Amino acid sequence: MRIQGLGVIEDALLELDRGFTVVTGETGAGKTMVVTGLHLLSGGRAEASRVRVGAGKALVEGRFAGLEGEQVAGIITDAGAEPDEDGSVIALRSVGSDGRSRAHLGGRSVPVGVLSELSEQLLAVHGQNDQLRLLRPAEQRAVIDRFAGETVGAPLAEYRRVRTEWIEIATELAERSGRSRELAQQADMLRHGLTEIDSVEPKPGEDAELTEQIKRLAAVDELRAAAGEAQSAVSGAADGDPDVPGALGLIAEARRRLSSVEDAALRDLEPRLAEAAVLLTDVGSELGAYLDGLDADPEKLEQVLARQSDLKKLTRKYAADVDGVLAWAEDARQKLSTMDTSDEALAELARRRDELGTELANHAAALSAARKTAAAELAEEITAEMSGLAMGQAGIDVIVSTRAAEKDDPQTLEIGGEQAHAGPDGVDEVELLLRAHSGAPALPVHKAASGGELSRVMLAIEVVLAHADTVQTLVFDEVDAGVGGRAAVEIGRRLARLARSHQVLVVTHLPQVAAFADRHLVVDKGIDSDHITRSGVRVLAQSERVLELSRMLAGMDDTATGRAHAEELLSAAVADKEAAENGKHHRRAAQRKKKAGAPKKAPESGRGDGK
């Protein structure tokens, strides 16, 4: 990812490791601009105040590689973007000092929303704001849904499908019942209009046809004269006068003269005259037929004028032309089908509403059961993660309860004899409760946890959810705030473990976390000649990492003790990762041996074949 003109960063290139990349730097150096750049690249809100002083615009450019999945491919294809030869695609976001924002994907200008859609599939940013958001009940319900995946997603989709129809029917029933008199009056007006239109029976385009017919009948004498003279000019005089041969006679004479000569060039013209004679014969016949049908008919003209008058009465009332009148009639029929206020119609709507309500209650119950099952599993996994974050005696309870309906709630649903509010996400309320130790009562997380404990709880949640995430890149922005000591080491260890299945980027101030990184980036701050803060990003070599970790250890970069402590941290982190990697290889080898090994038989423990 490249960042230019954003905050204190003038120009920085971030080469992220496929595993665990950490970003550190002194306070105010611009670490948060890295996350801000990612937010912009993800279609986040653009703010002109983020543009560097003196720069015309801020620019963030990133290359996404290893793209997989139909949704990702569909977003790229629909945007008209062009991936590079290696399959990667470049996304770009610029923000002008005037606040105007532009987005590009694969060399094509795209709406900012396209970057947002793409990033939802590829990137998840977890920061302190995300922690605070997780304390809201709606977000806690979303945590369960995200963790459970299709186990909750499938019944939720069915619930929402039925709920949409249930609300439509209930709304229609309430409207018809409450506006019965008004709707009856409107229905009478529509029926009257339809009766009037049906009695005339207009045809599509009939008004335009009648106008042409009236013009012809009113000008029959002029039309007969013009057609007769044209026919004489083509076919000759009706009495066969040789002095008035017409065009056909003249062509016949020309053909006769050409056919009698010996010159080949002239004789070649005769067939073309024959073609002209055929065309003129057809025209003459059509003119004759036109004249035969052009009888003066005053009664016919009177009938057509009367029909035109009937149609004009309709077009004055309902639309500008006959086609518009027919469209009004069709719309009126559709409206009438929804305006039946008879007792039978209202009873049928009530029956359908109750039928859908029963079906919806069943889906809501299935959804609640799926969430409760997922909640127990989620609580168990979060508690297990917390035990590794120096909160061994603490525990999490994820409580799923029914949200009671308030008085006169139009979306009330009866489930198991209780009146529940049927919201768009079900009837459930979800709350995360924390037991700080074995004897402590279970309280809402934000009440039971201190600042450092809250960070660890949220990190445990994020680590658990990360395994359920389909995105390939996870970003953590100082989620380790308020943590230190052994808990900080455990945070680093878990982030390193997470990096085995995801690309992980962490902005941190903790040396214990930074020591576990596969690549260490540092944001350096300086002052230019114009007294403007200028920051850049660089990759640290192993020796430089020791100095940076020493600095993070309470500014001990210039002491032998600090460097020794930093080296010890790095060595411990490397040993821990190697042990984890070896353990993974041993497990894989055991699995391969198990698959290809001895004949299957039930072991003495009584567990199933190979299980």
Residues 247 and 233: beta-carbon distance below 8 Å: yes
Q: What mean pLDDT do residues 113-139 have?
A: 78
pLDDT-derived band at 124 (thresholds 50, 70, 90) equals confident
Residue 212 pLDDT more than 90? no
- In angstroms, the CA 236 to CA 245 distance is 5
pLDDT at 112 over 50: yes
**pLDDT: which is higher, 10 or 364:** 364
**In degrees rounded to 5, what are phi and psi of residue 179?**
-120, 35
Q: Which residue has the higher pLDDT, 468 or 67?
A: 67
Handedness of CA 23, 29, 32, 38 (dihedral sign): negative
Residues ≥6 apart with Cβ < 8 Å to 422: 163, 166, 360, 364, 411, 412, 413
What is this structure's pTM?
0.60
Report the C-alpha gap between 220 and 294 in whole angstroms. 7
Q: Residue 610 has what pLDDT?
A: 37
Tokens at 479, concatenated: 């989620």
Are 131 and 458 within 8 A, CB to CB? yes
Residue bearing the bigger pLDDT, 467 or 208: 208
| Highest CATH level, class, for 1-127+478-590 | alpha beta
Confidence at residue 552, expressed as pLDDT on a 0 to 100 scale: 86
pLDDT number for residue 609 = 39
pLDDT of residue 295: 64
Please indicate whether residue 296 or residue 562 has the higher confidence score (pLDDT). Answer: 562
Please report which confidence band the pLDDT of residue 278 belongs to, taking 50, 70 and 90 as the band edges.
confident
Q: Would you say residue 60 has pLDDT above 90?
A: yes
CA–CA dist 224, 384 (Å, integer): 101
- Phi, psi angles (nearest 5°) of residue 13: -115, 120
Q: Using CA atoms, how far apart are residues 329 and 335, in angstroms rounded to an integer?
A: 10
Distance, CA of 288 to CA of 484 (rounded, Å): 107
Taking alpha carbons only, the member of 346, 426, 402, 410 closest to residue 163 is 426
Q: How confident is the model at residue 420 (pLDDT cuts 50, 70, 90)?
A: very high
CA–CA gap between residue 332 and residue 313 (Å, rounded): 18
DSSP-based three-state secondary structure for 197: helix
C-alpha closest to that of 144 among 454, 445, 438, 397: 397
Residue 176: the pLDDT is: 75
Q: Which among 133, 159, 130, 155 is positioned nearest to 372, based on CA atoms?
A: 155
Strand, coil or helix: 516: coil
| Beta-bridge partner residues of 191 | none
What's residue 583's pLDDT? Answer: 66
Q: How far is CA 535 from the centre of its chain?
A: 36
Mean pLDDT is lowest, of 30-34, 160-164, 512-516, for 30-34
Average confidence score pLDDT of the chain:
83
Q: Which pLDDT score is estimated for 611?
A: 31
pLDDT surpasses 90 at 161: yes
Listed range (1-10, 55-64, 474-483, 487-496) with the worst mean pLDDT? 474-483
| Per-residue pLDDT at 236 exceeds 90 | no
Alpha helices (H) along 260-408 = 264-267, 270-292, 298-317, 322-337, 343-387
At residue 532, the pLDDT reads 63
Domain ranges (residues) in the chain = 1-127+478-590, 206-320
Tens of pLDDT along 516-538? 999 999 988 766 656 666 778 88
- In whole angstroms, give the CA distance from residue 1 to residue 62: 4
CB count, 10 Å around CB of 332? 21
Percent of the chain predicted with pLDDT > 70: 85
Q: Could you tell me which of 137, 220, 57 has the C-alpha nearest to residue 430?
A: 137
For the cut 50, the answer to whether the pLDDT of residue 323 exceeds it is yes
Angle at 211 between CA 208 and CA 215, to 5 degrees: 145
Whether 515 shows a pLDDT value over 90: the answer reads: yes
378-409 pLDDT, tens digit each: 999 999 888 877 787 888 999 999 999 998 89
- Encode pLDDT of 552-609 as tens digits: 887 766 778 888 888 898 998 888 888 877 766 666 666 666 556 545 444 443 333 3
Q: How many Cβ atoms sit within 10 Å of the Cβ of residue 579?
A: 10
- Helical (H) or strand (E) element with 517: none
- What is the residue type of 577? K
Query: In the chain, what percentage of residues exceed pLDDT 90?
Result: 25
Lowest mean pLDDT among 153-162, 183-192, 526-535: 526-535
Q: Which residue has the higher pLDDT, 322 or 304?
A: 322
Question: In the prediction, which pLDDT does 34 show?
Answer: 86
